[in-house]
Structures are given as C-alpha cells and as structure tokens.
A and B are shown apart, each in its own frame.
Chain A
C-alpha cells in the first residue's frame, strides 16, 4: 500500500487512532508499573489490557484473508482494510512487548513472540518495498511486462526477430538446406511490428510499433548468425551465457556487428539490440518482482502460525495464570 501525499487523509484516519491506542495502553501500563516499582507482567490489569488489544489486532489482521476470499461481497473498500491492517499491525508489536513485561518467558511465549516479530518485520518490509520498488520499476524498467508473461513475451519477441530477419534478409543458407516443413510459416513483408520505447510525460513504456524494413540481404549470413547467438538469451535471459547478457558487453558486441554489416542493416541491428535490452529488463524485473512479492507468503505463513500459537497462549495463560 502506497504512503504518499495523495493518501494522507486515509492514513491519518487510521494512524492517529492507532497511535492513541498505543499511547493510552502504554501510559496505563507505565503508571501501574511505577506504582508497583517494577515492570508488571501480562496478568496485571494494564498488561492484560495490552495483551487483549494486541491479540484482538492480530485476529483483525487475519480477517484480511477471508475478506480477500470473499471480495465479491465487497465488504468495505480494500484500501480501508489495508490502511487498518497496516497501522493497527504496526502498533500491535509494541503492545505485545508491553504485555510481556519486557521479558520473553518460556518456550511458548518466546516462540510466539519471535514469530510475531518476524511476521511484523516481514510486513514492514513489504510496506517499504511496495513503496519504493514499483516507483523505481516505473522509471527504470520501461519494458516491464506482466511477470508471469515474461517467458511468453520473450518467445513472441524471438518470433518477431525471426520474422524481421526473414523480411529483411530472407532465409540463410543453412535454413535453406533444412527442410522447410520444420520452420514456422514465414511471410515476407516490408513492414514489421516491434516493441519500441514511448514516453508520455515522466512515464515511459514499451509499445508496439510498425516499422518498415529495408533490404539487408547482403548481410543475411551475419545477421542470422548474430540472431542465432542472441536467441538463447532472448528466450531464457541471464541463464544463457552470452555477451549480450551484460549491458556494456552487449553495446560492444552490437558495435562490432554494425561494423561487420552494411548501413542498411543498422535498423535491423537496432531492433535486435532493443530486444536484448528488453530481455535484460525482464531479468531485472524478475529479480525485483521476487523482492517485491516473495515476502508475502512468509508473512502469511508466519501470521498463521502466530494466530494458532496465540490461541494456545491464551488458553494456557488463563489456565496457569
């Protein structure tokens, strides 16, 4: 969930009550502790209050799960759920620590607290990366696509490149020797559709463009050979050990290719270089995507464990009060 000026009212509406709740409970606890001359435990009135509030918040946080499962019912807009989840979750940890009386206790409360801290940290991590990485991706990864479609889009890009070379150069000698039946249908054309960078204001993005293709038959062998070399990279990204996987080496590699080909092949080479750049961005996107989303399964798993152990803790704490 983004925290920026456009969301100020929404966040203030939840952050302020959450802060007041935390301050009030902590002040009550501090007052009781000062009177007792020590940090009172979780069974005291104030400690118990902090524990009940923290426990209720944890249960409320878990309601996000059924809310998502039942999203068709449209139970309050998701942004309110998320803002409440965020700010109440933030204050729940200090409340739980106060409830503990600042010591961990036995294995169960220790395990519960450690898992809770991990869940809290993972949530805060998620909040931070969701506020930083998407903005960074928007400005640094114009070729970004849907994460799950990276391999599919990469495949289509390879098809585009093959079509472009066919249109510009025709078949290579090697391809001519092979059976035509093994090759996909190739349609000779003077225009092709390729992805190109477009900018609108501060935002740039990859769009499809129709470009005319000049005849580069004299460089057919060189271009097809270059394509054969970069094709594994276009399909599987950084896993392929090719020079174009690295931005700097790719620039040198394509410079050498341009110098080996005639000027009429420059447009083709530019397109191939653009495709490699897109694939590198896909690789970066994959890495960033993992940073951006892989905390969530752990956050959920930890939260589930915390909720189960919270139930055990409540039962046993009341029994052995």
Chain B
C-alpha cells in the first residue's frame, strides 16, 4: 500500500458491509434453535400422545402400587388434583375422588370423621395426605410421620366439635408424660377374676416351706408334659413362668378391630380356663377317680346339675358312692348285721344335687365373684355379649406388640406380677390392681432420636442400643375396619 492512498482506500482495510455477512456463529445459533424446537416438540408430542406413564410420573410408585405404574387413570382424574398438598379449586369433589380411588381396594373407615369440623373432614377424607405415593419403590406408605398426627392432635379444639371424647387429650404433640399423659386405659382394672400372680410364680405355688406344694404328679395326667421343666420328675415342684399361661396372638378383641392389628404377637391369647387353669384347677365332681372326666367350665348350672346327678348315680352303680339311707357294711356289725341298702339307687334327689352344686360353687368362688357365676352371667359370657372377666386388650386406644419386646424381661413392665417382699403377706388383689407399667416404662426407649439414652438402661437389651421410634403410628392406628366403631 503506498503512502499516497486515499482515505477511502484506507477505510477499505475493513469490508464496509462486514456486518451483513453471516458467519458460523449465526448458522450454529439457527441450528441450535431448530434442534431445540424439533427435539423438545417431538418429545412433548410423544409424552402427550402416550398419555403419560413414567414420563410424567413425579416418582416411582411404591412397590404395592407398581401394577398400575403406567395406568394413571386408576387414581388420577383429568384436571382433578390428587396430591395431598395440591391446591384445589373444587376441594370437595377433588378430595372425594381421591378417597374413592383408594377405597377401590382399601376399605377402611375414617378417623372420628363425625366429630371433625368441615375443613378437617376433608383432611380425614384425603388419603394422600398421609399416604403420598410417587416417592420411590421402597416407600412405606403406612409410615406416617408425627407432624401429620399432631396437625390435629396438637389442638383438637380447633379440629373437632365440642362432642369430642373427654378421654383423648386436647393437646398432644409428643410422646411423654407431660404431653401425651399416662395411658388412660390403665387407670383402673376392669378384671373380675381373683388371681394371685405372685403365688403362681412361686415354686409349687406356695410360700417357701409351706405344705401343699403342687408337684408334677398332682397335675392332670394329660397335662403334665405341658408344665414339666427339663429334667423334672413327677415329684418335683411345678414352676410356672409368664409363658406358661401367656402366649402370643393377634388382636383378641372382637369389638375393636384396628387396621393391621391382627398380626401374630401383637397381643397375648386370652386366658382360658381349659387351656391355662384346668391342669391344676379342674372342676372335679365328688368321688373323682383317675378316669373321671372333669365337669365343664362356664356351663349353665342346670347343665352342671344334670351332670352331677348322672355322675352321682353312676358312682352309686359302681359302688363307689352310697345312697343317703344305704347303711350296708362289707362285714356284719354286731347287733346290726350287714345293714340295709337303699331301695332305688338310680334316683338322685334334688337336695342331693343342691348339696353337690354348693360344693362346686365353693370351687367357683375361689376365682370368681358370685355375680359372675349366675346362670345369666354364664349365658351372656357364652354368647359373647358380656364384658370379658379378664380384658382381652388392656391398652384399648393403642397397640402393644409383645413380640417386638420379647427380648425384654417381662418384669420390666409387669414388676408387680412377680413375688416381692412387699406383697408376701397381702391378700391376692390382682383383679383390683393393673400390673402393667405406665408411660414411664415406654419413654426411656421410645424417645426422640436426638435424646440421649437414660441411665440404667444398658442391661435392658444386653448392652444393645435401646433407642426406639416415638412415632405415633407405632402404637396408634388411624383407621378402623369398615363399620367398626372405636
């Protein structure tokens, strides 16, 4: 370039219309826009066209619902919120749809819905509040966190009508004596069977050194093996422990059935005379022999009377019992001879039966009060319409799982059922005393995760950690079976 060039020539060192030229950046931008539009558009069309499935799911369904993973309409209705926390324009129909969707398979009743205020009725109705799905395959839909319970129970006066139960505390926000309170069901003992736990836990069921100790040979022959300890002979003393009478069972209470409450081990079998008492306390008629069948337990007195009558007559026929005026002797007595037999040995008078019945009643009253052994009481008990003499469930508002606590020594919660010096001279009062520990026996282990282990618990589980969840659902169930009132 010569020095004499013009300004125009100099300006041409840059193309004056350079900005009109579209370089690679422009074409790359166009390509990216087209690629974005096409790819996203095709994918969107695919999603809408296929109707959702895993493309729309906010997360995998829990394993129990996996069969309709790709069938959204099983639960969802178009433009009707189902999620527990969804904002709803028409809440009543939306929540009702949710409940209907769940009730297709899960028929359970609500939770005191008749006592709830209108807004909270819908909370009760909205299954998804507590059972939110789409949280992953391993999500336990029944694992309900405490805040979901305390949203109502922290102040029931805001949630319920004035007709709510006075038994349930208005404000419960955590599991301790102060907030939760002690177990209301354990305030009094509704039992009506006289039973001395202490005495039965002693070897031979008598105080040490006393006469009349029960040996294995004194048990019903067919039941001896049930109570014989390893290495015991027939002359050894019978030694009982808790499991001799208490075996694991599901919820034995027919009146209250809580969802999921019938699993084996949650409760103990109801005490049954035939299973748990009769080996020692069989109801024997007079003149009993080894072959004599015991009388039935809890039979109407008319039936017992008839059985006694036939047994007495039978015994007379066998010669092991005498008639009232039978003074026959096997050898002649001087001046009297062999005596004279009764005229009709097969007839047992009513007076004779009454005497036998009274003897039987003495046996009954050893464990029962007089009101419990009337014909009426026995008939209602047999019909299952009366209150059991021993409660089937002691914690009536919650669930206690004996199986889960089987590694613990029973006396941790039932200390009063064991022999101790304080009880040695007292009359048996087990039917007046609740022998179950209160909330103070639960809270040392069932505590918030961030609370340290209290002193003295280290031996409870042989040195293992003692922390256990304090979740409400561990003991309480929200639902009942359909039609069952709590």
Contacts and interface: CB of A to CB of B under 8 A. Distances in A.
Interface residues of A, number: 64
Interface in B22-63: 23, 25, 28-29, 31-33, 35-37, 39-41, 43-44, 47-48, 52-59
Contacts of A40: 85
A159 interface: yes
Contacts of A41: 58, 83, 85-86, 132
A32 B2 contact: no
B14 A321 contact: no
A82 interface: no
Interface string A43-69: 111011000000000000000000000
B13 A156 contact: yes
Given A37-B147, A312-B44, A320-B52, A153 B5 contact: no
A147 B24 CA distance: 11
A148 B43 contact: no
Interface string B78-91: 11111101110000
Contacts of B132: 38, 41
A160 interface: yes
B355 interface: no
Contact of A149 (B5, B14, B52): B14
Interface string A136-153: 000000000111110011
Interface residues of B, number: 54
A189 B1 CA distance: 9
B99 to A, nearest CB: 16
Contacts of A315: 48
A300 B32 contact: yes
Closest 4 CB pairs of A and B: A301-B32, A37-B147, A191-B3, A44-B85
B56 A36 contact: no
B85 A297 contact: no
Contact of B25 (A115, A297, A318): A297
B32 A298 contact: yes
Interface of A is mostly: helix
A293 B86 contact: no
Interface of A: 32, 35-38, 40-45, 47-48, 103, 105-109, 111, 115, 145-149, 152-153, 156, 159-160, 163, 167, 187, 189, 191-193, 208, 210, 293-294, 296-298, 300-309, 311-312, 315-321
Contacts of B151: 35-36
Contacts of A309: 40, 43-44
Contacts of B78: 319-320
Given A37-B145, A111-B43, 7 more contacts: A38-B145, A41-B58, A43-B85, A307-B40, A312-B44, A319-B78, A321-B82
Given A312-B47, A316-B47, A163 B2 contact: yes
Contacts of B2: 163, 167, 187, 189, 191-193
Nearest to A188: B2
A85 B47 CA distance: 30
A308 B85 contact: no
A321 B79 contact: yes
B4 interface: yes
A109 B82 CA distance: 18
A255 B472 CA distance: 88
Nearest to A145: B14
A108 to B, nearest CB: 5
B29 A44 contact: no
B59 A106 contact: yes
19 contacts: A32-B85, A43-B81, A43-B86, A107-B55, A108-B43, A108-B55, A148-B21, A153-B14, A192-B2, A193-B3, A193-B5, A296-B25, A301-B35, A304-B32, A308-B40, A309-B44, A316-B48, A316-B52, A320-B56
A320 B59 contact: no
A103 B23 CA distance: 41
Contacts, number: 168
A191 to B, nearest CB: 4
B406 interface: no
A210 B25 CA distance: 35
B164 interface: no
Contacts of A193: 1-3, 5, 10
B13 A208 contact: yes
A304 B37 contact: yes
A274 B315 CA distance: 139
Contacts of B59: 103, 105-106
B40 A296 contact: no
Contact of A303 (B36, B44, B56, B58): B36
Contacts of B134: 105
B291 to A, nearest CB: 67
B127 to A, nearest CB: 15
Contacts of B32: 297-298, 300-302, 304
A288 to B, nearest CB: 14
A318 B81 CA distance: 8
Q: Which of B25, B29, B40 has the most CB atoms of chain A within a 10 A radius of its CB?
A: B40
Contacts of B145: 37-38
A51 B422 CA distance: 69
A215 B94 CA distance: 96
B459 to A, nearest CB: 35
A321 B97 CA distance: 12
A40 B128 CA distance: 12
Contacts of A45: 85, 87
B39 A305 contact: yes
Contact of B54 (A36, A106, A293): A106
A103 B28 CA distance: 33
Contact of B83 (A38, A43, A208): A43
A105 B29 CA distance: 31
Contacts of A319: 78-79
A255 B196 CA distance: 116
Nearest to A321: B81
